[in-house]
Structures are given as C-alpha cells and as structure tokens.
Structure 1
Amino acid sequence: MVRVLPWLIVLVAWLYGMVDCALSDRNGVRGGISKTVWFLIAVLPAVGTALWFIYGRPRGTTPPRTGSDKGRRPVAPDDDPDFLRGL
C-alpha cells in the first residue's frame, strides 16, 4: 500500500487538475496562455498539473454584488420573520 499511495495521490491531483482546468472560466485563466493550451499542458500528470495550479488557475473571486437584496429569501425557517410570526 505504501508503494501505491504516491501514485494514487498523483492520479487524484491530476484528475482534479484536469477537471478544474476544463471547468474554469475562459476569461479568468492566468499566465497569458489560452485555456486550450493550459488543458494540453495539464495533460502531463505531475508537471502539467503543478504548473496549472501555480500559474494558470484563476484566482478566487467574489461573486458580483447587485447592490440590492430585493427578492432574496431567507434560507432556514428560523430566519424567516413571517414563519416566526406564525408560531
């Protein structure tokens, strides 16, 4: 099992990197390279995946704010004022 563990870790990281690269936003990819080229680089199991995570992966961004919370509903019943009034 000890001999298989490093290969398993590389395989899981490689698969995660490939899926992350495929599902990332085309406009958010860094490094000055297109998303297609990054995907081809990420095909290389250890080196390509490491390069993707270090240089190509989009940085974390916050979702855009609309300015108003109109139409937004509480998630849980105990956060809903109408529900609490009815108790």
Structure 2
Amino acid sequence: MIRYVPYLLFLALWIYAFIDCLNTPEEEVRHLPKVGWVLIILFFAMLGSIAWLVAGKNRGPVPAGGSTPAEWHRNHRPGPTLAPDDDPEFLASLREENKKDESLLKDWEADLRRREDELRRREGGEDSSGQR
C-alpha cells in the first residue's frame, strides 16, 4: 500500500498545478502564455507541474501596480451593500407598487359595488331597462 503513495502525490501535484494554471488570470502568468503552460503541464506532467509552480505564476507583489492581486481586489471593492429595508430606491419602488395596488383595489371595489347594485335591482323585479 505504501508503494502507491509517491504515485498519489505525483497525481495530486499534477492535478493541483493544472487547476491552478487554469484558474490563474492571464496577467499573473509569467514567461509563456497561459495556453503554453497548460500544454506543458499536460504533456510533461512531473516537470511541467514543478516548472509551473516555480516559474509560471507571479506569486509576489506585482511590480507595475505595486500591490498583490489580493490587495488590489480588497482596495477596489464596490461600496457597501445596503439591505433592502435600508435602500431608499427599493423603498420608493415599494411605495409606488402600493399606490398602484391600492388604486387597482379601489377600482375592483367600485366595480363590485356596481355589480351588487345591478344584482339587487334585478332581484327587486326590475329588468335591464330599469322597468318593473
């Protein structure tokens, strides 16, 4: 059983390097295009994986920007997200919907009253022309 451990470690290294290469943004890849690194990792499994981990990815600060990608994302985050009950635009849209719903309800109530009055007149012996 222990004789399989090196093979499993090699397989884990190969899979890790391949997935790491695929998930790395193009601007963080060094020396070759990303496609080149993917092919090297696939065709030269052990050497390609080690080469990727050693030389293929920027693992330190980015010289041009002066910060690591994690710092850049931390500094360029969008503003705080408001909960729906704190968002003025959302609350205004709810008020507008309530106004529309109230006017629709008033129209329905008026229509219902009209139909009820019409029904009462018919039951009272009047026909549709209003004569008895």
Q: TM-score, normalised by structure 1?
A: 0.70
SS of 1:52's equivalent in the other structure is helix
Cα distance in 1, alignment partners of residues 78 and 28 from structure 2: 26
Q: Which residue of 71, 75, 81 maps to 1:63? A: 71
Structure with the larger RCO, 1 or 2 (CA within 8 Å, 6+ apart): 1
Larger radius of gyration: 2
Q: Provide the aligned C-alpha RMSD in A.
A: 2.1
Question: In structure 2, what is the equivalent of residue 12 of structure 1?
Answer: 12
Quick one: structure 1 residues 71 and 55, their matched pair in 2 at CA, closer, same or farther if it must change by over 3 Å? same
The residue aligned with 2:40 is 41
Aligned residues: 71
State whether residues 29 and 35 of structure 1, in contact with CA within 8 Å, keep that contact through their aligned partners in structure 2: yes
Identity value in percent:
30
